[in-house]
Structures are given as structure tokens and as C-alpha cells.
Amino acid sequence: MLTGPGPPGGAATQLVSLAGTAAPGHLHFLHLAGARTVVTPGLRAADDALAAAHQQRRFLCVLGDAGVGKTFAVHYVARTRFPRSHVPLRLGARPTPADLRAHLHDALGLHDALPAAPALADALIRRALAAQAYIVVVDEADRMSEACLEYLRFLHDDTPDGLCVVLIAGQRGEKALRAWQMLATRTAQWLTLRPLARVSVPSAARALHPVWQTVAPDQIRVLDGHFAQGSLRRWALLTHHVQRSLSATGRAQPDPDLLRQTLDRIDTSRRP
């Protein structure tokens, strides 16, 4: 699933590569046109951790700063490795157990209307969860109330052989999740994803999008140091604006002047 050709340009150190299976466009930040799926150390770690948590039917907590690829990695691995088991929950701000119940009912594809009585609704959900080894994915999990987390614990404990639940949270959310004592005995792994190492950035940028093929590695490192800081989300944002600059100027490929002007336009912290 994660195997594929190495990064374009023949980089000697294969720290990143192109995935054998491309992610759907909507998983890429800004639905970036032309974006390719980059296998980073973080994506490999998420692949290993999710496979283990799914086999054990336990919780997995995925942490990291904004933009390091937590959500992309989890949903890509779940969709690709376990396409029939992936249950993403799209929750709004401050969800309640009733919201979780309704989202699970829809995500599991239950044909019956959601019963008004919570006990009856939970019976339908538990029956569906017991039918196969699902992976329930919750983004921004640290924003959930204790009641929501308790509801997930109830589903995990009441499902034969357990339930794989992936909780994604920012690095600052780790304290909130670790304060929930039940996770200590039900979590297969606490996985923290890091920004790309500086040595990996040129090959990662070139693997992410063809627009970087003609840009010198040193120039890519400068852009990373000034703006992206090892974040593929910020590289996607920069790529989006470089594409717009190329379209507006009619140039075929980015040169140092275009890159500098683009960076000045989108990175206000560089302005006096």
C-alpha cells in the first residue's frame, strides 16, 4: 500500500517516496490540483500504528502540531488499507453524545431511521459494530466533552473483542486526553507525528508536486526555513499560490524572483 517509486529527481537518500496508491483529491489540503501522495516517516508510522490498533481493537491516539499530516495520514491509511472498515466522524464544535450517536448511525450506513430512544439507537449501532472490525476516526478529539469520550468507551467495552477508535488531536490536546484515565488501559499507542526533517524537505516537495522539479534543493530549503517549517500542509499552501502566480504571469516554471514575490504575498510575518 505504501510502496511505490522513489522521489522524483533520483534523491540518494530515500527518506520519502510516492505512495503506490494515490489519495483522493479531497484529502489534500485545499484539494491541491496535481498533488501526489507522499510517503513520509509520519505516514509509515501511522500505517504501522493503525494496523496494530485495528488488530488489537483498541484506541489509538495520534498527536502532533497543526500541518504535520495527522488527519491525512490516518484517513489515507484507513481508506487504503481498511476500505470497508473506515468510519470517519465529521463532528462540529462541542459535540454531544447525541451528535456522536447520530453521526455513527449515518457513517455505518444503517438503513433504519435513527430511533428517538437512545437505548434503541445504541442497540442498532452496537449490533453494526459487532459485525466487523471497524475503525472509528475522530478528529480534534481533545475538544470532545467527557461525556462523549465516555460514550466511545461504552461502545469499545460493549463491542465483542473491542473497537478500534482513533483519536486525533493537536500536540496541546495530549494533556486533555491523557487526563482521561480509561485511555491508559485501552490505548494501543500514543503516536506523535513530527514535521519533516530538513534533509527530507527537497525530495518531499518534489514528490508532493511537479511544480518543484526545477527548483534547486537549496532554494527549497530556504522556502521551508522561511515558511513551511517541515509542514506538508504549508507546502501545499505554498504550492497552491505558486500555481496561481505561474498562471497569472504566464511563466512555465517558478524562478527565484517569482518564488520570493509569492512568499512575500502570503507570509505577512516577513513584511516590516
Task: List, for residues 240-267, the tens digit of each pLDDT value.
Answer: 999 999 999 999 999 999 999 999 999 7
Q: What is the pLDDT of residue 80?
A: 96
- With a cut of 50, say whether residue 13 has pLDDT above it: no
User: pTM value?
Assistant: 0.91
Can you tell me the mean pLDDT for 162-177?
93
Q: How confident is the model at residue 134 (pLDDT cuts 50, 70, 90)?
A: very high
Grid coordinates given for 137: 476516526
Looking up cell 517549517 gives 229
Q: What is the pLDDT of residue 139?
A: 94
Handedness of CA 37, 79, 162, 59 (dihedral sign): positive
- With a cut of 60, say whether residue 7 has pLDDT above it: no
- With a cut of 70, say whether residue 268 has pLDDT above it: no
- With a cut of 90, say whether residue 218 has pLDDT above it: yes
5/13 Cα distance (integer angstroms) = 13
Q: What is the pLDDT of residue 1?
A: 59
Are 57 and 166 a contacting pair, CB within 8 Å? no
Q: Which residue, 218, 193, 192, is CA-closest to 205? A: 218
Grid coordinates given for 92: 462540529
